[in-house]
């Protein structure tokens, strides 16, 4: 039987050394504290925890591992760049090489600006939008990071800053229209995670685009999660709705930090004076990794593999739950699926995820998952088989309770 005793000991030490015991989204407690807390290595679609347990990973480090842990092509590009240097006083030609590639792929990308981390990119987009429009207020829908504007009611955020951000509901054009009309000509940008949960309803994204245009508010798609999975041009390529600005990160570097704001030329050229510079913006480890990641995805048709394997997983889990008589179905889209249990089944869901982990499957209970080409046919087939065993075991646990 799986144990996590080493992870638990490490976390007890971390509580005395790290703020909150570590990053908030990585702290224990997802499944009665029984999920692993410390990882020590990864390869392909799997990682190993501090107790030596292997897990097939369907969270992919919250999204960055697009082509799998320890990918030899990406890592070789990074090692070669390390030998040449990773940061300089001045620019490097690879910054342009990556920018040219992304401008060909992403519909909203005529120009871009480099950042570190998704939070840095979304905050950069807000600053650019405020400078270009001359407006202060921000609309948001989704998760956009930890910076003050994106966490307006959070601890440590000044009320004066938080008051400039308004959240509206997803798939709710009425709440967006109401917010825009309540402060006419005051909103600089609508920051939107265009894909959330089960995805947008018919006409929602086109309606958002129209409302923003009518009110002179820039539309920014936060594609930090969706980028390079639904299509190499992002979720915007998949839907055919092109925003004014977009943010990307996570999967682009396959685990190496690279992030950016991309935008239409007429907007970005107006923002040339905006101070968004930092020492590590455009650092070459991330740039080299991104170039290699995109090349690999193109050469292997990685997006098609993601869609195929995600669909196989969703269909397989639906069969498993239906055969078990459990009110649970897959949701979302194949590149970012999840499992949704019916109302009142929280205890059963918890037991299922625990039993799945006992069978080497790491599902995240509260987050859309991420599919990678590293999730091969063999891995997906095993996952479906193990999930069938896990739900049977979970039901037996409930019967014994």
Q: Tell whether 112 and 132 lie within a shared domain.
A: yes
Cα–Cα distance, 38 to 24 (Å, whole number): 14
Q: Taking Cα atoms as reference points, which of 317, 289, 295 lies closest to residue 382?
A: 317
Domain shared by 141 and 79, yes or no: yes
**Residue 289: inside a domain:** yes
Domain assignment of residue 207, yes or no: yes
Residue 63 lies in a domain: no
Are residue 275 and residue 181 in the same domain, yes or no? yes
**Entry pTM:** 0.95
If one counts the domains in the chain, the total is 2
Q: What is the pLDDT of residue 33?
A: 65
Backbone angles phi, psi at 79, to 5 degrees: -60, -40
Q: Examine the domain organization and report whether 176 and 320 are in the same domain.
A: no
Give CA–CA dist 41/48, Å, rounded: 6
Q: Quick count: other Cβ atoms within 10 Å of Cβ 250?
A: 28
First-to-last alpha carbon distance for the chain, in angstroms, is 20
161-196 per-residue burial string, b: 16 or more CB within 10 A, e: under 16: eeebbbbbebbebebbbebbeeeeebbbbbbbbbbb
Query: 227 and 322: one domain?
Result: no
- Same domain for 325 and 237: no
Percent of the chain at pLDDT above 90?
Answer: 93
Whether residues 149 and 109 share a domain: the answer is yes
- Give the model's pLDDT for residue 349: 96
Domain that holds residue 328: 301-339+356-371
Instruction: Count CB-CB contacts under 10 A for residue 71.
Output: 24
Closest by alpha carbon to 197, among 348, 352, 351, 339? 339
CB burial of 366-389 (b: ≥16 within 10 Å; e: otherwise) equals ebbbbbbbbbeeebbeebbebbbe
Average pLDDT, the chain: 96
Identify the band that residue 23 occupies on the pLDDT scale cut at 50, 70 and 90.
confident
pLDDT > 90? residue 28? no
pLDDT at 30: 73
255 and 331 in a single domain? The answer is no
Is there a domain that residue 392 lies in?
no
Residue 196 lies in a domain: yes
Asked if residue 65 belongs to a domain, the reply is: no
Report pLDDT for 55. 98
Mean pLDDT for the stretch of residues 14-40:
86
Average pLDDT over residues 200-222: 98
Longest dimension (CA), the chain: 66
For the segment 172-187, the average pLDDT, to the nearest whole number, is 97
Kindly tell me if the per-residue pLDDT of 37 is higher than 70. Answer: yes
What local confidence, expressed as pLDDT, does residue 27 receive? Answer: 82
Same-domain status, 177 and 288: yes
Q: Is residue 255 part of a domain?
A: yes
Same domain, 232 and 215: yes
Which of the four pLDDT bands, split at 50, 70 and 90, describes residue 315? Answer: very high
**Sign of the alpha-carbon dihedral angle for 254, 306, 309, 58:** positive
One domain for residues 266 and 361: no
Return the structure tokens found at 229.
Answer: 């999975």
Q: Are residues 267 and 320 located together in one domain of the fold?
A: no
In the sheet that holds 46-49, the strands lie side by side as 39-43, 46-49, 54-57, 361-362
Using the predicted structure, report yes or no on whether residue 242 has a pLDDT greater than 90: yes
Angle at 219 between CA 216 and CA 220, to 5 degrees: 150
**CATH code: domain of residue 269:** 3.40.640.10
CA–CA separation, 306 vs 137, rounded Å? 37
pLDDT at 102 over 90: yes
Q: What is the spatial distance between Cα 206 and Cα 216, in angstroms, rounded to a whole number?
A: 15
- Has residue 37 been placed in a domain? no
3-state SS track over the chain: CCCCHHHHHHHHHHHHHCHHHCCHHHCCCCCCCCCCCCEEEEEECEEEECCCCEEEECCHHHCCCCCCECCHHHHHHHHHHHHHCCCCCCCCHHHHHHHHHHHHHCCCCCEEEEECHHHHHHHHHHHHHHHHHCCCEEEEECCCCCCHHHCCCCCCCCHHHHCCEEECCCCCHHHHHHHHHHCCCCEEEEEECCCCCCCCCCCHHHHHHHHHHHCCCEEEEECCCCCCCCCCCCHHHHHCCCCCEEEECHHHHCCCCCEEEEECHHHHHHHCCCCCCCCCCCCHHHHHHHHHHHHHHHHHCHHHHHHHHHHHHHHHHHHHHHHHCCCEEEEEECCEEEEEECCCCHHHHHHHHHHHHHCCEECCCCCCCCCCCCCCHHHHHHHHHHHHHHHHHHHHHHHHC
User: What per-residue confidence (pLDDT) applies to 366?
Assistant: 85
Per-residue pLDDT at 318: 98
- Least confident stretch, 1-15, 85-99, 219-233, 282-296: 1-15
């Amino acid at each position: 039987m799986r144990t996590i005793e080493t992870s638990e000991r490490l976390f007890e030490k971390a509580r005395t050394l790290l703020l909150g015991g570590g990053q908030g989204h990585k702290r224990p407690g997802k499944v009665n504290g029984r999920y692993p807390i410390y990882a020590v290595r990864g390869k392909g679609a799997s990682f190993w925890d501090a107790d030596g347990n292997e897990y097939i990973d369907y969270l992919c480090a919250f999204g960055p591992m697009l082509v799998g842990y320890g990918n030899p092509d990406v890592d070789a590009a990074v090692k070669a760049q390390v030998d040449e240097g990773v940061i300089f006083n001045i620019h490097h030609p690879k910054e342009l090489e990556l920018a040219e590639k992304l401008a060909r792929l992403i519909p909203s990308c005529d120009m871009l600006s480099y950042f570190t981390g998704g939070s840095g990119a979304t905050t950069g987009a807000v600053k650019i939008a405020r400078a270009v429009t001359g407006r202060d207020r921000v609309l948001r829908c989704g998760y956009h990071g930890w910076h003050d504007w994106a966490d307006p009611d959070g601890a440590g955020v000044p009320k004066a800053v938080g008051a400039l951000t308004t959240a509206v509901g997803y798939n709710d054009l009425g709440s967006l229209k109401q917010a825009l009309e309540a402060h006419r000509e005051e909103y600089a940008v609508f920051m939107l995670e265009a894909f959330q949960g089960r995805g947008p309803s018919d006409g929602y994204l086109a309606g958002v685009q129209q409302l923003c245009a009518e009110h002179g508010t820039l539309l920014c798609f936060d594609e930090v999660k969706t980028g390079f999975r639904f299509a190499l041009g992002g979720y915007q390529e998949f839907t055919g709705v092109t925003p004014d600005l977009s943010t990307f990160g996570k999967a682009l570097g396959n685990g190496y930090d690279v992030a950016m704001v991309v935008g239409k030329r007429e907007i970005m050229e107006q923002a040339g004076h905006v101070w968004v510079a930092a020492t590590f913006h455009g650092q070459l480890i991330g740039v080299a990794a991104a170039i290699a990641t995109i090349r690999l995805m193109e050469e292997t048709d990685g997006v098609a593999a993601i869609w195929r394997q995600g669909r196989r997983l969703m269909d397989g889990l639906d069969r498993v739950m239906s055969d078990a008589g459990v009110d649970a179905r897959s949701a979302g889209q194949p590149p970012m699926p999840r499992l949704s249990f019916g109302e009142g089944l929280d205890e059963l869901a918890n037991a299922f995820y625990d039993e799945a982990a006992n069978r080497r499957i790491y599902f995240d209970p509260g987050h859309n998952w991420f599919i990678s080409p590293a999730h091969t046919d063999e891995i997906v087939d095993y996952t479906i088989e193990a999930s069938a065993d896990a739900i049977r075991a979970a039901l037996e646990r409930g019967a014994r309770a």
